[in-house]
Structure formats: structure tokens, C-alpha cells
Amino acid sequence: MATQQRDALQERRARALALAGHPAFAPAASIVAAGVFVIARLELFAHGNITRFIDAGSSFVNAARAPRGLAIVPGTGYDGEFYYRLALDPADLHRTAFGITFDSAFRLQRITYSAITWLVAGGQRGAVPVALVIVNIVGFGALGWLGAKVARDSGRPAYYGLFVAGYFGFLFSLGRDLTEISAASFLLAGIVALRKERPVLAGVLLAAAALSRETALAFAVALALTRLFEMARRSRKPGRTDAAWVIPGVVFVGWQLVGWSVYGALPIRADAGDNLRFPFSAMMPAIGHFIVTLPNPHSVIWLGELFVLTFVSVAAGMSLRTSSARPWEKTAWVLAVIVVLSLAPGIWRGEADFRGFEDLYVLSSVVLLGSKRKLTMPVALVAVAWVVTFVHRMLFF
């Protein structure tokens, strides 16, 4: 009897692993998890009004001129209001439109998420609030699918795609109609395209990532540095493969010039002081602040998330030399570390589940998947952080 039970248990385990190893498992599980979060947040926080995800604030939204049905809260609101504004009409670049005013020309440069939403909504303004959420849910699925491809390319089962999609910061973005999921999806798609030796497609995808969040351009910079170093050593000549970094560079500069023509200033310079500082100048005071405010639950969660992100990043750093990750992926990881250490106080002190650190997490996961390291501990820590953030962000903002 004991032998039969053991055999039956092993058979069920083998079936479960086979199911989890199917290429469709990670994207399907990612979409389901995102969908459950959206439904729970819609009912428990938004009380059935999906426009509350936008978090439109009265400081920048004129209630008399805003689209009908838009929930408006007192104060400044949050970034989603500007992506919503662009999604109503991505071709309308005026400072004020539809009763919504950009706080800075900086908002203009993050156009990808809004443009895709406009397409999904079919240009129907009333459908935009729902389309914003749908695009991010699909983005979760894309992260799971692409993560599974990277995992299999690295010799690991496809279900490790959930490790890539499982960054807790993505939940904050999903709950507030933000751009990080879009940026990470296109960045990972560019990585997969590069690995399949499709540089033109990779260039287009990386350009879309850079126009989702400008920090994603660091990957194209890393790729350029790697290629130029190879040229300097005369181990390769310029060629079609350089399209992977030339295209995003040209597109990003071109869009900056469009912003300059509209606002008289480059969008990337409009908010640079609020985003970047000298390395460590904002990180250490932020850590001190949240330690001092213990045992505040928000401080506990912030420090816990920082521990998990640090653990994953340090593990990736320790695996750089042995990982099968490509040279440009490793270089991009180094640049992502530098960017994170240089982020401004407003980002480090924000209780936003480190949603702006997604490049570092995604690149760390790519490096770790390519390593020979057992990933039990990183996966477990990320899973716990994801569940805690899920519960927290489903109720509070």
C-alpha cells in the first residue's frame, strides 16, 4: 500500500512538473494572477470604478473639462493620470488637453504604453480606462512567455518564466496604470530577439522599451558599448547587427527632438534633477528613514522588499562571470545597478514597491537563469514578497 501511494504521488508530481514545464504555463499563470489582482483591487479599493486606477488628481485635472466618469481625487494624483491623458490621443501633444495638464514635458517621452492603449481602445476615449488595465495584464502574460523562452534558452524549465514576471513592483504598476510592465516586456522581447539573431526586430523592440521608460535605453547603451569594444579590438566589423542599438538610439533622440519642438526643451532634461543624483546620496538616507520609522507596517514592507531585491541583485552579481547571459546583458546589468544607486530621494523614499527598479530585477533574473546556481532561495523570497505586496496593494494606495 505504501509503495502504491508513493508511486501515485510521484506520478502526480511528474504530471504537475510536465504541466508547469509547458511553454503556455508561465504566461497563462501570469495573466491569471494579474487578472485576480485587478478584480480584487477593483472591488476592494476602487469599489467597481476602474478609473480610480488612474488616480487623477485635482491639481492637474480640471473636473469640468475632463472626460465624463473620471474619478478625481484631491491633490496631485499620480503618474497614471498623464499616461491616461496621452492614451486619449497620443497625437495631441499640447500641454493641456481633455482637461488634463502635464506637470512637465518629461511625461511626453513615455509614449509607448499610452499609444498601445489607444490602439487597443480603438481610439474610443470611453474605453481607455479599461484598455490601460488590459494592456498591463497582457504585459504580465508577455513577461511570463518571454521569461519562459529565456529560461529554456538557459537550460531551465519554462516555469521559471514566472520568476521573471514575478517582480513585486509590477503589481504597483498594474494597480495604477503605469509604464513599467510595458517597458520590461519590450526590454525582454528585445533580449529574446537578440538571442535569436534578429537585430532589426530587437532594435524596434528596444526602442519601444526606451519610449516606455527612458531607463530602458541603458540596455541599448550597453549593447553599443559591447559592440564598439569588439570593433576596437577588430574582432568584428560594423554590420546589420548594430541595428539593435542604432535604432533605439535614433528613435529616442528623434522623439526628444519632437518634444523639444513642442515645449522648447528636451523632455529628458525637464525632470532629470528629480530622478537622478550622485550614487548612494539618496539610498542611504532612505534606508535610515525606514529603519527609524519601524515598526510601521509600510516601513517593514519597504525594508523587506529592499532585502529581496538586494538578495536577487547580489546573487546575479556573484554569477556574472559564470552565467551564460550574453556580454551585453551583463554590461546592461552593471549599468542598471549604477542607475539604481543614482536614483533621487523622491524615488528611493517613495512607497511604490520599487516599481522603478524593474530593469535591474529583469536583468538580474536573466543573469541568474543563465547561471548554474540553484534558485530555490531567490524564487522563494520573490514569491513571498509578491504575495505580501499583492495583499497590501489590493487594499491600499
Angle between helices 376-395 and 25-44 (to 10 degrees): 30
Question: For residues 95 and 86, is the Cβ–Cβ distance under 8 A?
Answer: no
CB atoms < 10 A from the CB of 12, how many? 10
What string of pLDDT tens digits covers the 397 residues of the chain?
A: 566 656 556 666 666 666 677 788 999 999 999 999 999 999 998 899 999 999 999 999 999 999 999 999 999 999 999 999 999 999 999 999 999 999 888 889 999 999 999 999 999 999 999 999 999 999 999 999 999 999 999 999 999 999 999 999 999 999 999 999 999 999 999 999 999 999 999 999 999 999 999 999 999 999 999 998 888 877 677 878 899 999 999 999 999 999 999 988 889 887 655 677 788 888 999 999 999 999 999 999 999 999 999 999 999 999 999 999 999 999 999 999 999 999 988 889 888 999 999 999 999 999 999 999 999 999 999 999 999 999 988 776 5
Q: 511553454: which residue's cell?
A: 23
> Partners of 275 in the beta sheet?
none
Rg (CA), the chain: 21
Question: For residues 79 and 178, is the Cβ–Cβ distance under 8 A?
Answer: yes
Nearest CA-CA partner of 128 in 68, 213, 181, 186: 68
Residues 6+ apart with CB under 8 A from 69: 51, 126
- Please give the Cα distance from 305 to 293 (Å, whole number): 16
How, if at all, do strands 72-73 and 56-57 pair? Answer: parallel
Question: For residues 176 and 129, is the Cβ–Cβ distance under 8 A?
Answer: no
Alpha helix (H) residue ranges in 45-127: 80-88, 112-120
Question: For residues 175 and 397, is the Cβ–Cβ distance under 8 A?
Answer: yes
Q: Is 295 exposed, middle or buried (0-12, 13-18, 19+ CB in 10 A)?
A: exposed
Assigned C-alpha cell, 343: 536614483
Terminal Cα distance for the chain, rounded: 53
Nearest CA-CA partner of 144 in 123, 170, 112: 170
Calculate the CA 312 to chain-centre distance: 16
